[in-house]
Amino acid sequence: MPDFARKFGYGDFIMLDHIEPGTANMMQGGKFFRQITENCWNPEIRIPEYAQFNTQVQVVCTIPVLFSYWAKPEDGAEVARFLNDDLAQSIAPFKKHYIGLGTLPMQDTDLAINELQHCKELGFPGVQIGSNINDKNLDEPEFFPIFEACQDLGMAVFVHPWNMMGMDKMKKYWLPWLVGMPAETSRAICSMVFAGIFEKLPNLRVCFAHAGGSFIPTIGRIEHGFNCRPDLVAIDNDVNPRNYLSKFWVDCITHDADALKFIIDKVGSEKVCLGSDYPFPLGDLEIGKFIEEMNLPQQDLENIFCNSSLDWLGLNANQFA
């Protein structure tokens, strides 16, 4: 594997307009949430910051709070078009350093597919969606045509947790991010698995954030539920959920070497992508450092740092040479 591609990570990329140079405040419900700095939106600043960790290529996407699924469909489509065009324009001068993932107005099937086609035209290899759409799980029939279009267009899908279940009941101790996010990702995976989406669309390439959340660590419980109560669990798909562990990708964000070893053992390093969640504090603040210290076989390192992401996105490393 060429040195330039040793690490191939993804992170959130925030589009902000009319802000003071250097910093900006993120608001949530009209209240201050966190202050962010220019590395959230300035592509030139991000390149040397990633280079400190021997990472050349960044897969960037809009932060989930800008999904705007709550908006009227036409308004959501307008927001998605603006974000996608702005992202494409921002990264265009840096083709050897950036890959963009688009965003879709998932609240409307036809508009989402239309924007998906636009993302393809922009040169994006895939899109990012939320773990639920206005509290609707991803198994809802209205979303299947979107997944089908992703498969037909060869567009990868990245599922990121957001709008966490139970948020109103666990605001203290940052629990939505510590407890809700892993559960949200498991919710998304279970919904897609039990609905038979991977069975019906075998060429759909999906990656789930944060090592798949709580899905892989609790696969024993999920499988047991499938076996002991098929009348409740296996109503739309009679294939054991454990069979799907190699059918999708996850990123490596566990912050724990033993947990990552477990993930690799269950899905294989060829299904584990390098994630950073850069530049946010819950991300990997020293990209790939704990992985380098795990004494993994060279092939596993090459898969995590580069090959798995390229495979998921359907790209070739030579285009970044």
pLDDT tens, residue by residue, 82-132: 999 999 999 999 999 999 999 999 999 999 999 999 999 999 999 999 999
Closest among 178, 156, 153, 157 to 167, alpha carbons compared: 178
Q: What whole-number distance in Å separates Cα of residue 14 and Cα of residue 278?
A: 11
Give me the pLDDT at residue 18, please.
36
**197 C-beta neighbours (distance < 10 Å), count:** 23
Contacts of 41 (CB under 8 A, 6+ apart): 13, 14, 15, 16, 90
184: three-class secondary structure by DSSP: helix
Count how many domains the chain has.
Answer: 1
Closest among 254, 147, 161 to 203, alpha carbons compared: 147
Predicted confidence (pLDDT) at residue 321 exceeds the cutoff of 90: no
Q: Which H/E stretch holds residue 120?
A: helix 109-122
| Domain of residue 155, CATH code | 3.20.20.140
Question: What are the tens digits of pLDDT across the range 211-244?
Answer: 999 999 999 999 999 999 999 999 999 999 999 9
Question: What are the tens digits of pLDDT across the range 280-290?
Answer: 888 877 888 99
Judge if pTM exceeds 0.75: yes
Could you tell me what percentage of the chain is helix, strand and coil, using 3-state DSSP and rounding each to the nearest 5? 50, 20, 35
Query: Amino acid identity of 110?
Result: D
Q: Which two tokens stand for residue 80?
A: 């998605």
Give me the pLDDT at residue 302, please.
96
Give the confidence band of 2 by pLDDT, cuts at 50, 70, 90: very low
Tell me what the mean pLDDT of segment 276-282 comes to. 84
Contacts 24+ apart (CB under 8 A), 90-94: 90/13, 90/15, 90/41, 90/43, 91/43, 91/60, 93/43, 94/43, 94/44, 94/47
Q: Which two tokens stand for residue 122?
A: 């922009």
Give me the percent of the chain exceeding a pLDDT of 70.
92
Give me the pLDDT at residue 137, please.
98
Host domain of residue 61: 3-320
Q: Torsions phi, psi of 132, nearest 5?
A: -150, 160
34: left (phi over 0), alpha (psi -120 to 50) or beta: beta
Give the confidence band of 196 by pLDDT, cuts at 50, 70, 90: very high
